[in-house]
Amino acid sequence: MPASAPPPSVDPTTLRPAPLGLADLGGALRFGLAQFRAIPLLSMGFALLFVAIGALLFGILEFGAIAPMSLSLAGGFMLVGPILLAGFFGVSDKLRKGRNPGFGDIWSGFRQMPRGGWVVSFVCGLLFLIWITDAGILYGFMVGREPIGFLRLLQIEQMVLDYAGYSAIMGGLLAFILFAVSAFSIPLIYDGRATLVSGVVASVRAVFGRFGVMMCWAFLLAAVIMGSIMALPLLLVSLPVMAYASRDLYFRVFPEA
């Protein structure tokens, strides 16, 4: 569906979240891994773009001797992560249909995203800028001009731990709000099953209605992606696996008619 086309009329019954259990998280992860194994080169090729960007940013942090800020960048990636999903959706959906996806399907996924999805993505980007600005201010107060490269970062000094702890608390609220808003609204809007408002409402309802399971998923997602960013090459695998798993989890919560 072209980005300029209005979404079809929404049937409210299709936006009622289905029951969800911890077994569904395991099933979604297995699905994500299976899709990655089916198209590893394509998956890693798309993820390589973000690994390269991460390597460039880490190089800048090392040059400026402000390596502890890498912890904030890793956390901030969770805020902009939803922007990347459309590309993975295009690949995942074609593979679901038994077809062989290519790099063109990544671009097609972004082209298919309706305007409402880009609005949510814009909010994600805006919150990322707010988060990085606040993290930078906090870094100035807690670490100051003390030069710390990545080798020194491995010593796990107390002031770095304090900075990481306070920044995690500060960013945790933003991350939770964004997760509740975007976890299911973006795929619902992408599939034309919801408008911007109805998609956000359905997403928030699904997250709070299955709060325990969804928090397990949120913590798992954050731990895997943030850990992979700190060990950057791992992101080549973890990013596509978790993106495909997120797509499958969405279909478990909002089954297709």
Q: What is the amino acid identity at position 57?
A: L
> The whole model's pTM is what?
0.85
**In degrees rounded to 5, what are phi and psi of residue 66?**
-125, 50
pLDDT (tens, 9 = 90+) of the chain, 257 residues, equals: 444 444 444 554 458 889 999 999 999 999 999 999 999 999 999 999 889 988 898 888 888 888 888 887 777 777 777 777 888 999 999 998 888 898 888 988 888 888 888 888 888 888 888 888 888 888 888 887 778 887 787 787 888 888 888 888 777 788 888 889 989 999 999 999 999 999 999 999 999 999 999 999 999 998 998 889 888 899 999 999 999 999 999 999 999 86
Cβ–Cβ under 8 Å, residues 183 and 209? no
Cβ–Cβ under 8 Å, residues 178 and 79? yes
Phi-psi region at 121: left, alpha or beta (left = phi > 0; alpha = psi -120 to 50): alpha
User: What does the alpha-carbon distance between residue 59 and residue 22 come to, in Å, rounded to a whole number?
Assistant: 39
Cβ–Cβ under 8 Å, residues 3 and 115? yes
Q: What is the pLDDT of residue 71?
A: 80
Q: At what angle do helices 196-209 and 115-142 cross, to 10 degrees?
A: 60
What length is written for the chain? 257
CA trace torsion 146, 147, 153, 158 (10° rounding): -10
User: What does the alpha-carbon distance between residue 138 and residue 143 come to, in Å, rounded to a whole number?
Assistant: 8
Domain ranges of the chain: 22-253
Cβ–Cβ under 8 Å, residues 199 and 189? yes
